A and B are shown apart, each in its own frame.
Chain A
Amino acid sequence: MNRAMFAAASGMAAQQTQLEIVADNLANADVAGFKGAAATFADVRAGTLGLGTIAVGKHAVFAQGKLVRSGGAFDVAIDGPGFFVVERGGARAYTRNGEFARESDGTLRNSAGWALSGVRIPADALAARVERDGRVVIDTPAVKGRVIAQMRLASFAAPEALRPLGATLFAATEASGRARLFAPGKHDGPAIAFGMLERSNVSIVEAMMQILGAQRAYEANAKGVQAADEMLRIANNLHRG
């Protein structure tokens, strides 16, 4: 009975993990550049004895989100794989959230203060845009269409091993490998979409289905714990005083 009880309890724990991850996905469904996560479970066995289940991993799913036209003056999105390189206080991180704003010092920063690496808009720029191939072009009163920088994207040998720093920010790890910088816009490679944002890749409908499934499975596992408990009680009552 104890084995049954622990197996059922491990099932409840697994469903709770699943629910936490789906809830986090749902909470960030409106965050630009957010990548949903998924959990993997494995069954635990000792020979022929079933000992329940265990969560073995959680990883971000880097599937492309839809690109939508946005109102922001410096919004950019990546059409294809890769990450923006951002910096703050000497630290470097990687993101697919391209919601940037121009600061007084000319840098393009996101809401958390991370600046797009290698790009500084001069004070006399009237307008700035980013081309498909990552060239940053400005118009000044004197010259139109001056190229001031080349934006580079980062790719990783194993992007799923990146360490999340926040909802949309990642840091390189030993397992992910070093960032390899490349210029976008090559024939079949990723390109920059200026004035667009990448929506999160979380499907609300799928998340709702997952929540319903997790909830029912949790209840069913709880029934298993109850049944094991009830049977133990019955066994204890076998001996009538």
Chain B
Amino acid sequence: MASAMRAARAQLEIATQNLANASTDGFRKALARVALTEGGLAVSERQSYEQGAVRTTGRRFDLALLGEGAFRVGEGLTREGAFARDRDGFLVDDRGRRLHGTRGVLRVSEDARIEPEGTVREGGRVVDRIPLPHGTRILAGALETSTVNPIGETLAILTAQRAFETAQKTLLAIDASREKAANDVARVQ
């Protein structure tokens, strides 16, 4: 029963982490998977690969990924494509990380355009390309919104809470029956 309570806690943590990021662009929700193991209930977490809805923003270097893949920024990868051109021509996200093309850090002029295939064009000239997996396209001037559905997560929170309560009640019942066994059944008259 203690493992059931731990599992409920883990489910709650996943649901609240998802909910907290309901407005984080490019965020992909985590899915909780509960499995019965020898040690009791165990919760594991994996990422959903669902495509998020796309909203237009009117900023020319906001990039939404349609399909698999991620942007390479500094040492990391992200699907949050809110980039702005800084005064040196680098495309930086709000954490100050620079977007990479196929030839390392991307540096563009003010009138650069990012095309759906990832091609970076200045005027008529192709200057670089943002590497994309086959079939993935980029929509410039838009962002991929979070895939978190607040209703689903609220349900997950309630479920976790009730599971926790049930486990607690069961634990108390087990405790009560053991108390009886220890104190009443073996009483010598």
Contact = CB atoms under 8 A, between A and B. Distances in A.
| Pairing of A with B | yes
Interface of A: 1, 3-5, 7-8, 10-11, 14-15, 18, 38-43, 48, 50-53, 56-57, 59, 61-63, 156-158, 160-161, 175-177, 201, 213-214, 216-217, 220-221, 223-224, 227-228, 230-231, 234-235, 237-238, 240
Interface in B1-55: 5, 8-9, 12-17, 19-25, 27, 30, 45
B12 A61 contact: no
B9 A231 contact: yes
29 contacts: A4-B17, A7-B13, A7-B17, A10-B20, A11-B22, A15-B22, A15-B23, A38-B57, A40-B94, A41-B23, A42-B95, A52-B16, A53-B24, A57-B82, A59-B84, A59-B94, A157-B110, A175-B86, A201-B58, A217-B22, A217-B150, A220-B22, A224-B12, A224-B15, A224-B157, A227-B158, A227-B161, A231-B164, A235-B168
B20 A53 contact: yes
A238 B45 contact: no
Contact of A217 (B19, B89, B157, B165): B19
Interface of B: 5, 8-9, 12-17, 19-25, 27, 30, 45, 57-59, 80, 82, 84-89, 93-95, 110, 150-151, 153-154, 157-158, 160-161, 164-165, 168, 171-172, 175
B5 to A, nearest CB: 7
Contacts of A18: 23
Contacts, number: 152
Contacts of A41: 21, 23-25
